[in-house]
Amino acid sequence: MTQTQRSKRFELLAKRDINKETYVEPWPEAGLIVADSPYDPQPSLSITAGTVVEMDGVAQADFDALDRFIVSHALDLAVADEAMAIPSQEYARMLADINVPREAIARLIAGCTPAKLTDIMRHLNVLEMMMGLTKMRIRRQPANQAHVTNWREHPALLAADAAEAALRGFAEVETTVRVARFAPLNALAILVGAQTGRGGVLTQCSVEEALGLRLAMKGLTSYAETLSVYGTERTFVDGDDTPWSKAFLASAYASRGVKIRFTSGTGSEALMGRAEKKSMLYLEARCLLVVKGAGSQGVQNGSISCIALPEALPGGVRAVLAENLLAAMLGLEVAAGNDALASHSSIRKTAKLMLQFIPGADFIFSGYSAIPKRDNLFGGGNFDAEDFDDYNTLQRDMQIDGGVQPISEDEALNIRQMAARAIQAVYRELDLPPITDEEVEAATVAHSSDDMPERDIVPDLEAADAFMASDRDFVAVIQALQVSGFADVADNILEMGRQRIAADYLQPSAIFDADFKVRSAINDANDYTGPGSGYRPAGQRWAAMQGIPQAKSPEGFVQPHSGAPLSRLVEIGPASKGLQKEVLLAVGPAFGRGLTTTIGGLAHEDVLKAILSGIAGEGMIARILRVYHSSDCAAIGYVGARLSGSGIGIGLQSRGTAVIHQKDLAPLNNLELFPQSPSLTLATYEAIGRNAARYALGLATVPVAVKIDNGARLRLIVKTALLHRRETDEVDPDKRPQALRFDWEPDL
């Protein structure tokens, strides 16, 4: 084909969002392959006298640091021989089989090598993986995590957004920094904000490892998740850690009563140029065994910040689900990704989300951007604050608990203002640079940083340094809240302190529920074993998910169409068969009585006048009758046609739908049908009258042109159904059609 011609369709397709993406063909040698690299090892394991002497084709002497860590800390050697002997396909079938419980699979998976884990995934399609994730997820009830940042790093806005996120139901709120020195103040703002929104929301500030630990020691954060691990030794070292240093960090956090999860995810090794020709999924399996061996209760994976790389490759989205599933199989809490920008296309990003949303994950997002994209300092915002209503609707559509719930505008404004005032009070009591009332008010109503006044960051940074250097910690924060009238927020932060002492939330997949009670894989273990088991939203939770503020009561749809009955339209007795040339206009049972305007808002009286004017304009006589035995448009029109002296009738429902009928046609046939009543104008109704008259006169007639609006049904189907129901309420099956007198003469 020569390129002198361009297809208009291909030209249009080229401009679609999906074609803003980058796609690349696989290149195993560079690690640009999501799964099944020809260089991936075959699964194998040899144990001699309790020591692993060979794993996945590598002899003990050649083990790298990761292999050594995995064999000494991750693999359950007691079950390994049994586990490795079972064919990979058999595991795949167990994962998809509701009759095999989670515990039975988990026991065996504990003895599987990285190559074995990868090989199992080879046999599963995404639907089977979703079944697997539904069953293997360790906590019964799914939850969600929010990202709260803003490019101004404004404390009042951080607090307000954290409070709103908490109220919306996010179980964890994560912030980070643009300028690293801001870390203590950002952590403080979301701590105060989140505990204002709902007591028990876990908060963290993603920063360099040592700084993160300092924040936790000060009680400014209650969890940490950016303990990154990598699937090759060189990448690990480039990340400035080893499995042992990361594991020590995990213990250090736990020693201060702080929850942690590690971070891994496909693509990082290829991005850092050290994939060693291995597939992304195989390297992720190695990561996950390091995570498990280090004693982390969980992991955030699902490619995270590298997501666009697997999505550029064939099978990338499937591989990301596979890594989520592998983590769950290993007994790890999974924060499943969906955070960084993965696609320009709404269709593609939503389709990808469904792979975690439908089966449910411990955290469906490892950061739903509860702020607009441009305020997201994680490079995130695949779903953001502007998608809140979409996301709530997805939950409502599928009866799937996505971990959040709708809130009203008033609730949002109240909680945002309270949080902004609370952080204002804390700043005042701790001698931090003042937050003005103007800043509080701006944060209350703000959507983004753009809505906030300028703030001098130099004194803020100096205050952050001083706070970090001092021995002040969250005890001072609680005292500040106590003396400034925020007793509830103070109590919530104090209770977070008591929970550190109890350490229940160090158990796998722990969150705090709406009653500030811990919920983890210990006391809320996933018990899915097929239909009728496991978690599904019901009762109050399902009611909260349904209750979007946009939902209206059914009465509200009909009420605007019910006015005073038409005084000029009077029943004068049973309708008889006409003997003259005429058009008979048959209206529905509620016309001009229970209902007085059409769905398009036209007064019934005006519609009558328009049709009658059209009929009279062709010199034809009209009669009107009301049908009682049916509310169906065709049936109403058919009665009109059969009783009409000319055999031509018009049927008109109260909502405005019209038909021109002829007595010799089958009841459901017609001469002209006008189903899109919202599009009909008075001019259309007049044209309908005119055409009916011309059919009665036997004249050649051009059908009435009607605007096609395919969106009308989408917008108005609920109202259509309810107006029709109102009309049907007036049906009396035994009552004959009644003749009507309309006290009006056309102006000719």
Partner 1 sequence: MSDYPLREKAADALLTHSGRPLCEVSGEALAAGKLRGADLRVHADTLRQQAGIASDGGYPQLAANLLRAAELTNVPNEEMLKIYESLRPERASYDELQRLADYLERNYSAKENAAFIREAAAVYRERNLLRR
CB of 462 to partner 1, least distance (A): 23
* For partner 1, the closer CB: 494 or 716: 494
Token pair 């927020």 in the structure block, residue: 489
CB of 522 to partner 1, least distance (A): 5
* For partner 1, the closer CB: 89 or 470: 470
Cβ-contact 612, 620 below 8 angstroms: no
Cβ-contact 507, 522 below 8 angstroms: yes
φ, ψ for residue 239 (rounded to 5)? -80, 5
Cβ-contact 535, 140 below 8 angstroms: yes
CB of 393 to partner 1, least distance (A): 35
Report the C-alpha gap between 407 and 395 in whole angstroms: 14
* For partner 1, the closer CB: 52 or 688: 52
Token pair recorded at residue 665: 């046609």
CB of 464 to partner 1, least distance (A): 18
* For partner 1, the closer CB: 93 or 214: 214
Q: How many CA atoms lie within 13 A of 419 on its CB side?
A: 37
Q: Pairing mode, if any, of strands 738-742 and 621-626?
A: antiparallel
Of 56, 67, 147, 644, which is the active-site residue?
Answer: 147
The question of whether 424 is a catalytic residue gets the answer no
Of 206, 279, 300, 646, which is the active-site residue?
Answer: 300
CB of 484 to partner 1, least distance (A): 12
Of 366, 405, 662, 677, which is the active-site residue?
Answer: 366
* For partner 1, the closer CB: 11 or 471: 471
Report the C-alpha gap between 202 and 350 in whole angstroms: 27
DSSP 679: G
Token pair 């109890």 in the structure block, residue: 502
* For partner 1, the closer CB: 471 or 743: 471
Closest CA to 330 of 300, 281, 285, 265: 285
**H-helix or E-strand spanning residue 147:** strand 143-147
The question of whether 147 is a catalytic residue gets the answer yes
121 to 279, 332, 723: CA distances (angstroms): 13, 17, 53
CB of 545 to partner 1, least distance (A): 26
Conformational region of residue 539, where left means phi above 0, alpha means psi within -120 to 50, and beta covers everything else:
left
Q: How many CA atoms lie within 13 A of 289 on its CB side?
A: 29
Cβ-contact 458, 185 below 8 angstroms: no
* For partner 1, the closer CB: 248 or 744: 248
Report the C-alpha gap between 137 and 24 in whole angstroms: 32
Q: Which amino acid type is present at position 38?
A: P
Of 119, 172, 209, 225, which is the active-site residue?
Answer: 225
* Buried residues in 231-266 as b, exposed as e (16+ CB within 10 A): bbbbbbeeeebbbeebbebbebbbeebbbbbbbbbb
CB of 242 to partner 1, least distance (A): 6
Cβ-contact 435, 421 below 8 angstroms: no
The question of whether 606 is a catalytic residue gets the answer no
CB of 49 to partner 1, least distance (A): 19
* For partner 1, the closer CB: 499 or 597: 499
* For partner 1, the closer CB: 295 or 563: 295
Report the C-alpha gap between 139 and 141 in whole angstroms: 6
* For partner 1, the closer CB: 250 or 658: 250
Cβ-contact 693, 615 below 8 angstroms: yes
CB of 254 to partner 1, least distance (A): 3
Conformational region of residue 510, where left means phi above 0, alpha means psi within -120 to 50, and beta covers everything else:
beta
Residues near 559 by beta carbon (within 8 Å), at least 6 away in sequence = none
Report the C-alpha gap between 47 and 264 in whole angstroms: 28
User: What is the sign, positive or negative, of the torsion defined by CA atoms of 505, 511, 517, 522?
Assistant: negative
* For partner 1, the closer CB: 451 or 504: 504
Give the helix ranges, DSSP H, for 272-367: 280-293, 308-311, 316-329, 346-357
CB of 523 to partner 1, least distance (A): 6
**DSSP-assigned beta bridge partners for residue 661:** 649
The question of whether 164 is a catalytic residue gets the answer no
**H-helix or E-strand spanning residue 661:** strand 658-662
The question of whether 300 is a catalytic residue gets the answer yes
**DSSP-assigned beta bridge partners for residue 335:** 300, 363
Cβ-contact 386, 372 below 8 angstroms: yes
CB of 79 to partner 1, least distance (A): 12
**H-helix or E-strand spanning residue 48:** strand 45-48
Classified as helix, coil or strand, 308 is helix
* For partner 1, the closer CB: 256 or 344: 256
**DSSP-assigned beta bridge partners for residue 334:** 299
Of 56, 67, 339, 618, which is the active-site residue?
Answer: 339
Burial of 403 (0-12, 13-18, 19+ CB in 10 A): buried
CB of 74 to partner 1, least distance (A): 7
Token pair recorded at residue 240: 């400035």
* For partner 1, the closer CB: 64 or 411: 64
CB of 208 to partner 1, least distance (A): 12
Q: Using only the alpha carbons of the chain, give its radius of gyration.
A: 34
Report the C-alpha gap between 63 and 71 in whole angstroms: 10
**Residues labelled as active-site residues:** 145, 147, 174, 225, 300, 339, 366
